[in-house]
């Protein structure tokens, strides 16, 4: 039925209902039952197949070289390379094309491809939710290798990314992100989490970049903070590459030899990592004025707060050799040439070798065994106390049950005491992942608005839980809600409480 309802209607016909159906289409909330698999061989164009595909379809790409930029602007499309006898499907921009892949449709999956020689990005998603990017070999694709931006529920796993002039894997203004099991090397920045919330960066191998893992809250962007970031069990080593970032770019001011940099981000957990052989510092904790080239933004808190550093192995270089000094002179020269060096940032330009470097740090940080490390700058750390149970955090993503993303189970994210930092977010995450498909705060989507629900169940979250477990048809003009029992009582209650918190103020003023 849905395929009949294409969105090519004339907008001057004021059928608001039809339009909202189109938006459901674009957000990927409606998927046709029958999905097709299309095959592409090097004699034809992948883009032509994408254009002909229906939402939900899979495009399988035969081994060979494809000189194309791909654009995916419909939901639930999968691009899958076929690997046969060691031969891969390869997107090659020949150093001439701007972008490898840009996707704006929700539920986008890309896997098993080599992507190389582009000027802009390897893979970029813009405003797309439920994105999976995995098993790609991305090399020399310009500014970013893998760049999901403005999306919810993003999975980046098992990729190999190298030779990128900015960040190999760049998570920009996203929520609920997992970056796991990637190999990231010889980029200016390895993995960068920027103005994003709820991000897990785990089991990655990050080496030979200028800076390994960056957790940044940057100025001048519409999203104003980075928080709840978990760097767990990564191998971060020898990130001493000379800085080849474009003059003026943020990463051009990263001092070579930086393992992990936390800039103005809050609630960052750095646990169980191996961080070795860095010429500047294993971990840098800095605020905006300490980084050269950052513009002021009154709406961004410039200091990092509540950073937890424990159970890591940190070992930095003891002294610098001629190669490192050469890399330093190059860095200092180009940073000064680029201008915009605030007074507070001058110190970062000097060569140094420490385990932990702090400058302009915020508050409430903790560090295990303060005495074990060579720390430069103020030491704002309290002891960390009890070790965290890392098993409690396999993912930061919560998925609707029909999602295509594998390896993510709603039951995995249990708000048990050891996962305390995430517990308050569970209600919100579940609402965003599951409920918001049919409910909106103030208007009727498929089900009634939250304000109506909050009026009916004022101070009675348990009532919402019971209804969600055993829904009944209440009103003739609404479809009956499917039962949400699979979420479990705890998650349902957290969600009900979140819904009431979100909608109660609005409900009371109505």
Site for another protein in 173-232 (CB under 8 A): 173, 175, 197, 218, 220-223
DSSP string for residues in 31-55: --S---EEEE-TTS-HHHHHHHPPT
Number of residues that bind another protein (CB under 8 A): 79
Q: Which stretch binds another protein (CB under 8 A): 233-241, 261-269, 292-300, 371-379?
A: 292-300
Look-up of token digits 């999905």: 35
Q: Does 288 bind another protein (CB under 8 A)?
A: no
Minimum distance between the CB of residue 249 and another protein, rounded to whole angstroms?
Answer: 6
Q: Does 115 bind another protein (CB under 8 A)?
A: no
Show the site string, 231-250: x = touches another protein by CB under 8 A, - = not.
---------------xxxxx
16 CA to centre of own chain? 33
Q: What's phi and psi for 420, nearest 5 deg?
A: -45, -40
Minimum distance between the CB of residue 442 and another protein, rounded to whole angstroms?
Answer: 5
Candidate list 35, 41, 65, 71; residue touching another protein; CB under 8 A: 71
For residue 44 the two structure tokens come to 């034809």
C-beta closer to another protein: residue 272 or 449: 449
Candidate list 42, 63, 64, 127; residue touching another protein; CB under 8 A: 127
Minimum distance between the CB of residue 341 and another protein, rounded to whole angstroms?
Answer: 10
CA–CA distance, 77 with 63 (Å, rounded to integer): 19
Q: Percentages helix, strand, coil for the chain, rounded to the nearest 5?
A: 25, 30, 45
Minimum distance between the CB of residue 132 and another protein, rounded to whole angstroms?
Answer: 18
- Burial degree of 160 (CB within 10 A; 0-12, 13-18, 19+): middle
C-beta closer to another protein: residue 1 or 318: 1
DSSP string for residues in 134-166: EEEEEES-TTEEEEEES-EEEEEES-EEE--SS
Q: Does 18 bind another protein (CB under 8 A)?
A: yes
Candidate list 2, 315, 344, 463; residue touching another protein; CB under 8 A: 2
- Burial degree of 113 (CB within 10 A; 0-12, 13-18, 19+): buried
182 CA to centre of own chain? 13
C-beta closer to another protein: residue 295 or 460: 295
Q: Does 25 bind another protein (CB under 8 A)?
A: yes
Whole-angstrom CA distances from 98 to 64, 113, 169, 244, 467 are 20, 18, 17, 19, 51
Q: Does 16 bind another protein (CB under 8 A)?
A: yes
Candidate list 298, 321, 322, 417; residue touching another protein; CB under 8 A: 298
Candidate list 44, 295, 363, 372; residue touching another protein; CB under 8 A: 295
Show the site string, 485-504: x = touches another protein by CB under 8 A, - = not.
-----------------x--
Q: Does 508 bind another protein (CB under 8 A)?
A: no
CA–CA distance, 99 with 24 (Å, rounded to integer): 28
Q: Does 116 bind another protein (CB under 8 A)?
A: no
Residues 30-49 that bind another protein (CB under 8 A): 30, 33
């Amino acid at each position: 039925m849905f395929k009949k309802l294409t969105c090519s209607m004339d907008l001057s016909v004021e059928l608001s209902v039809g339009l909202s159906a189109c938006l459901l289409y674009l957000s990927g909330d409606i998927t046709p039952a029958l999905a097709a698999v299309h095959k592409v061989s090097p004699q034809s164009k992948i883009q032509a197949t994408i254009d002909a595909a229906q939402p939900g379809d899979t495009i399988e790409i035969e081994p060979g070289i494809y000189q194309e930029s791909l654009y995916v602007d419909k939901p639930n499309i999968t691009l899958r390379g076929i690997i046969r006898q060691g031969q891969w499907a390869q997107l090659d921009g020949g150093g001439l094309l701007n972008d490898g892949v840009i996707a704006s449709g929700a539920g986008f999956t890309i896997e098993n491809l080599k992507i190389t020689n582009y000027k802009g990005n390897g893979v970029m998603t813009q405003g797309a939710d439920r994105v999976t990017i995995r098993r790609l070999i991305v090399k020399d694709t310009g500014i970013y290798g893998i760049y999901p931006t403005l999306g919810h529920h993003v999975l980046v796993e098992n990729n190999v990314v190298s030779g990128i002039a900015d960040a190999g894997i760049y998570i920009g203004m996203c929520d609920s992100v997992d970056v796991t099991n990637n190999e990231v090397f010889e980029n200016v920045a390895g993995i960068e989490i920027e103005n994003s919330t709820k991000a897990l960066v785990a089991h990655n191998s990050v080496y030979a970049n200028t800076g390994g893992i960056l957790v940044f809250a940057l100025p001048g962007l519409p999203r104003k903070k980075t928080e709840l970031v978990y760097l767990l069990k990564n191998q971060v080593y020898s990130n001493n590459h000379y800085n080849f970032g474009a003059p003026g770019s943020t990463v051009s001011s990263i001092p070579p030899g930086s393992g992990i940099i936390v800039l103005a981000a809050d609630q960052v957990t750095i646990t169980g990592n191996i961080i070795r052989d860095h010429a500047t510092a294993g971990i840098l904790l800095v605020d905006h004025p300490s980084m050269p080239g950052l513009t002021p933004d009154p709406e961004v808190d410039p200091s990092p707060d509540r950073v937890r550093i424990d159970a890591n192995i940190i070992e930095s270089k003891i002294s610098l050799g001629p190669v490192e000094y050469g890399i330093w002179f190059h860095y200092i020269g180009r940073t000064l040439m680029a201008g915009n060096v605030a007074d507070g940032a001058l110190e970062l330009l000097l060569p140094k070798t420490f385990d932990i470097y702090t400058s302009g740090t915020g508050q409430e940080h903790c560090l295990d065994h303060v005495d074990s490390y060579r720390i430069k700058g103020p030491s704002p750390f309290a002891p960390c106390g009890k070790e965290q149970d890392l098993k409690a955090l396999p993912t930061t993503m919560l998925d609707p049950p029909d999602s295509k993303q594998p390896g993510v189970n709603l039951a995995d994210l249990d708000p048990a005491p050891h996962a305390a930092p995430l517990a308050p977010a569970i209600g919100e995450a579940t609402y965003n992942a599951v409920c918001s498909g049919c409910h909106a705060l103030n208007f009727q989507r498929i089900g009634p608005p939250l304000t109506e629900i909050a009026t009916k169940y004022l101070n009675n979250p348990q009532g919402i839980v019971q209804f969600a477990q055993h829904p009944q048809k209440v009103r003739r003009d609404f479809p009956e809600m499917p039962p949400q029992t699979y979420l479990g009582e705890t998650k349902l209650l957290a969600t009900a409480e979140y819904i009431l918190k979100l909608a109660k103020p609005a409900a009371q003023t109505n």
